[in-house]
């Protein structure tokens, strides 16, 4: 874990993000603190991806402000993100990890690379060109790349959305292990089952607004808001 | 080198013919090397920066890819002529002038194609590299490295253009026997003298060289694809 | 990239280019006992330089670099200071060149002759010894005729022959008269392909290989003589002119040795150029 000032808590203060008449986030006020995973759920277009990107610092609020550990500007040194469709660098698997380490100014030791490969179950694939991996393998590599940077916060945007059940399970297990090891996980998913399996706290988004926020078990068994109930019943589609 | 059969000259390694081939390669390869030094950073610069007039620059680069060689030759001639602004360099009618003229022709090709390659690659990598907090200079080198195979093809295109042209180098070089005569200018000369068989022999050598260079670059590309996917 | 970063990349690139260029430039300048002679394509195509220059180099160690263009172009190249010596065959243009101050002095060197070339079976019926009659016939019958149209010595001579035959060819021509704007070899190639008539210098014709059905149809007319002159470019106008080396070349051409060498040059056993440096009227 990185020493020095922390990125946590990530504080959204009435943050809006919108372009050309389309509002993606609507006056979001939210505190992401150290602890168990924060799971973002909601229908398509509800703003999950935008929220993650804003939390990463890739998107600037059009209104309101966001701070990381109290600081308004924080380069993405202590946090890492895994995109829904991660881009593979035109290098080998090890090459991708090596790149992630060096851009994070971490020594590129072979042992560390092998360790990371093990963590995500890609042992032995070090020399393969990254672009030749299967979808699930690429997602795991993206995860390893993010972990290589030794982040305090790990953001994941629907990491299992395009994967088969076996790969999904593998990745979820890895994520749970990561959460247990002390890294703050913030994950967006549209899969309620996944939300339950990962646990922690759940934040329901709809039309760019936070509808409800509660511990996983509590939310899933006894949602309060109408939209929450509708969502759990599978009736909140858009 | 007169009209013994062209094949005889080739197989006996006639020194005059070898000198012509040597000069052709030196001129075109030097031009591509210099053009790469200037054109690749230039292309990357345009690809990665937003500035007013950017669209115009891109259109200009693309247009200059088709700059007629004789026009480039004329422009360089006027610059390097003793009566011109750079006349005191004494470069007119020398191989250096030919290199300069061909560099002028090749820079737009390399810059325009590099811009396209880097821009496409940047579209793909932008989010990841931004999320990894990669510094600006490192971004450029990463894109150039990851795009190296397309860039090799670009250099090839530049070499093809340089090796094939005659208009620019004949104007600034003067087609001086034994000094500024290359394969293309020799072919032009022999054709105009009516010595077609010699011209065809030279043409065959030229095509053979271009094929060899292309094959080498193709193998480099295949090897690279195996390595990096 | 920040504006500063951009600036440095550009500067770095320009410096590299400049460094390479200067290295190459100083290399070429440092080399050498050499001069640039602007001459004509027909002289070059005749092979005369291939014969003469090694003799000159052996004697003086001077490399002669010949840039072969049309006469008009050659004189212009010299006017710009891009040549040290001029060797062409258009007396009036040469004298004008000297009068303008671009040349030091004109020396006659040699002459060869023009020949009228045409299809062997001579469809226009111009065979003979009279160039004027031939040209008049060609015009009268609208027989296809190729003109170099490039301000070369040959071109200037051609136009003056038409004039002497009473025809202002620049104004009074038709589709049969084709100006190609290129050198003698190209003109012969075109005539060969089109079975047309063309005026050529004997040297280029003798060395020309792509004859098909072409042959000489008119020769020997005294009016077809073609006089060559050599001029040192005036260093007063262009200080970079290598006047000592250039003067050596001029001197050699008109010397007994040079004149003999010119007379010895033959194609297929036939002499091409007749040295006449001593002729006061040349």
B50-109 per-position pLDDT tens digit: 999 999 999 999 999 999 999 999 999 999 999 999 998 989 999 999 999 999 999 999
In chain C, which residue's Cα lies nearest the Cα of B91? C25
- In chain C the domains, ranked by start, together with CATH numbers, are 33-111+226-275 (3.40.190.10), 113-224 (3.40.190.10)
Q: Is residue B222 part of a domain?
A: no
Spatial distance between the Cα atoms of A116 and A110, rounded to a whole number of angstroms: 10
Domain assignments of chain A as residue spans, ordered by start:
10-87+151-232
Domain containing B100: what range?
15-182
Q: Is residue B98 part of a domain?
A: yes
* Position B178 confidence tier, pLDDT thresholds 50, 70, 90: confident
pLDDT average, residue stretch A154-182: 91
C267, β-bridge pairs: C270
Q: Which of C79, C76, C43 is nearest to C253 (CA)?
A: C43
Q: Is residue B51 part of a domain?
A: yes
pLDDT average, residue stretch A78-83: 94
Q: Is residue B226 part of a domain?
A: no
pLDDT value at A153 more than 50: yes
Question: Nearest CB to B93: which of C1, C67, C185?
Answer: C67
pLDDT average, residue stretch A157-171: 89
- Cβ atoms of A83 and A50 within 8 Å: the answer is no
Q: Which residue has the tokens 């640039």?
A: C36
Q: What is the pLDDT of residue A1?
A: 46
Question: Nearest CB to B228: which of A58, A81, A90?
Answer: A90
Tell which CATH architecture fits domain A10-87+151-232: 3-Layer(aba) Sandwich (3.40)
Spatial distance between the Cα atoms of B217 and B211, rounded to a whole number of angstroms: 10
Mutation target vs C (from B2, B193, B199, B201; most C CBs, 10 A cutoff) = B193
Spatial distance between the Cα atoms of B142 and B129, rounded to a whole number of angstroms: 9
User: Count of domains in chain B?
Assistant: 1
Mark C122-140 as b/e (b = at least 16 C-beta within 10 Å).
Answer: bebebebeebbebbbbbbe
pLDDT tens for residues C243-271? 999 999 999 999 999 999 999 999 888 88
Q: Is residue B89 part of a domain?
A: yes
Question: Nearest CB to B133: which of A76, A87, A145?
Answer: A76
How would DSSP label each residue in C59-119? HH-PEEEEEEE-HHHHHHHHHTT--SEEEES-HHHHHHHHHTTSEEEEEEEEEEEEEEEEE
Spatial distance between the Cα atoms of C197 and C122, rounded to a whole number of angstroms: 9
CB contact under 8 A, A76 and B229: no
- Cβ atoms of A185 and A178 within 8 Å: the answer is yes
Identify the weakest region by mean pLDDT among A135-149, A164-178, B211-225, C228-242: B211-225
Identify the weakest region by mean pLDDT among A13-17, A148-152, A213-217, B214-218: B214-218
**Gyration radius of chain C's alpha carbons:** 22
Identify the weakest region by mean pLDDT among A109-123, C25-39, C57-71: C25-39
CB contact under 8 A, B127 and A130: no
Which residues fall within 8 angstroms of residue B212, CB to CB, at 6 or more apart? Answer: none
In chain B, which residue's Cα lies nearest the Cα of A95? B228
Spatial distance between the Cα atoms of C64 and C113, rounded to a whole number of angstroms: 25
Estimate the crossing angle of helix C91-99 against helix C153-164, to 10 degrees: 120
For residue B175, give the CATH number of its domain: 1.10.3720.10
Q: What is the pLDDT of residue B73?
A: 96
Which run of H or of E encompasses C247? helix C243-254
Which residues fall within 8 angstroms of residue C83, CB to CB, at 6 or more apart? Answer: C36, C37, C38, C67, C74, C77, C233
């Amino acid at each position: 874990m990185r020493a020095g000032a922390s990125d946590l808590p990530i504080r959204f203060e009435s943050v809006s993000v919108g372009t050309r008449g389309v509002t993606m986030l609507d006056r979001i006020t939210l505190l992401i603190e150290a602890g168990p995973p924060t799971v973002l759920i909601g229908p398509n277009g509800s703003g999950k991806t935008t929220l993650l990107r804003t939390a990463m610092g890739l998107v600037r609020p059009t209104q309101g402000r966001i701070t990381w550990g109290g600081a308004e500007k924080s380069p993405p040194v202590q946090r890492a993100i895994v995109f829904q469709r991660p881009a593979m660098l035109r290098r080998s698997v090890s090459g991708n990890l090596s790149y992630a380490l060096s851009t994070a100014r971490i020594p590129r030791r072979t042992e560390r690379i092998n360790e990371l490969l093990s963590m995500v179950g890609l042992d032995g694939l070090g020399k393969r060109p990254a672009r030749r991996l299967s979808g699930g393998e690429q997602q795991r590599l993206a995860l390893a790349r993010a972990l290589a940077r030794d982040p305090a916060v790990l953001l994941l945007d629907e990491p299992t959305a395009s994967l088969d059940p076996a790969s999904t399970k593998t990745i979820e297990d890895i994520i749970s292990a990561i959460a247990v090891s002390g890294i703050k996980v913030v994950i967006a998913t549209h899969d309620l089952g996944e939300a339950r399996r990962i646990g922690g706290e759940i934040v329901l988004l709809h039309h760019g607004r936070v509808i409800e926020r509660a511990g996983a078990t509590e939310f899933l068994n006894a949602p309060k808001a109408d939209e929450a109930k509708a969502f759990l019943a599978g009736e909140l589609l858009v | 080198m007169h009209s013994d059969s062209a094949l005889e000259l080739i197989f006996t390694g006639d020194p005059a013919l070898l000198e012509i081939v040597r000069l052709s390669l030196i001129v075109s390869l030097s031009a591509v090397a210099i053009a790469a030094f200037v054109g690749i950073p230039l292309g990357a610069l345009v690809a990665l920066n937003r500035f007013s007039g950017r669209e115009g620059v891109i259109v200009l680069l693309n247009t200059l890819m088709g700059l007629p060689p004789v026009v480039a030759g004329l422009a360089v001639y006027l610059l390097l002529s003793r009566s011109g602004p750079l006349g005191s360099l004494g470069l007119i009618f020398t191989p250096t002038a030919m290199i300069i003229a061909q560099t002028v022709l090749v820079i737009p090709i390399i810059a325009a194609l590099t811009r396209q390659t880097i821009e496409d690659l940047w579209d793909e990598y932008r989010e990841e590299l931004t999320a990894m907090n990669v510094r600006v200079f490192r971004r450029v080198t990463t894109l150039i490295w990851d795009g190296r195979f397309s860039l090799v093809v670009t250099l090839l295109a530049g070499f093809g253009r340089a090796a094939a042209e005659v208009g620019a180098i004949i104007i600034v070089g003067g087609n001086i026997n034994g000094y500024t005569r290359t394969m293309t200018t020799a072919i032009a000369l022999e054709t105009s003298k009516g010595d077609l068989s010699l011209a065809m022999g030279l043409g065959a050598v030229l095509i053979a060289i271009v094929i060899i260079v292309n094959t080498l670059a193709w193998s480099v590309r295949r090897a690279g694809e195996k390595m990096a996917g | 990239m920040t504006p500063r970063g951009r600036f440095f990349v550009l500067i770095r690139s320009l410096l590299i280019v400049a460094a390479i260029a200067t290295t190459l430039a100083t290399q070429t300048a440092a080399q050498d006992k050499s001069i640039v002679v602007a001459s004509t394509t027909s002289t070059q195509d005749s092979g005369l330089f291939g014969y003469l220059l090694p003799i000159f180099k052996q004697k003086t160690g001077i490399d002669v670099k010949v840039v072969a263009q049309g006469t008009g172009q050659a004189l212009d190249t010299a006017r710009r200071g891009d040549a040290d010596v001029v060797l062409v065959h258009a007396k009036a243009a040469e004298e004008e060149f000297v009068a303008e101050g671009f040349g030091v002095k004109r020396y006659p060197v040699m002459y060869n002759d023009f020949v009228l070339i045409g299809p062997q079976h001579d469809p226009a019926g111009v065979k003979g010894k009279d160039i004027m009659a031939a040209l008049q016939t060609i015009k009268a019958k609208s027989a296809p005729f190729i003109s170099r149209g490039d301000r070369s010595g040959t071109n200037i001579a051609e136009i003056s022959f038409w004039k002497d035959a009473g025809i202002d060819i620049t104004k009074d021509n038709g589709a049969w008269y084709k100006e190609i704007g290129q050198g003698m070899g190209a003109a012969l190639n075109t005539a060969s392909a089109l079975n047309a008539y063309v005026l050529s210098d004997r040297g280029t014709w003798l060395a020309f290989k792509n004859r098909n059905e072409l042959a000489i149809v008119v020769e020997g007319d005294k009016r077809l003589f073609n006089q060559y002159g050599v001029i040192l470019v005036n260093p007063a106008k262009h200080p970079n002119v290598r006047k000592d080396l250039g003067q050596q070349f001029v001197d050699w051409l008109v010397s007994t040795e040079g004149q003999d060498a010119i007379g010895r040059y033959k194609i297929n056993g036939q002499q091409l150029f007749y040295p006449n440096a001593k002729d006061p009227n040349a």
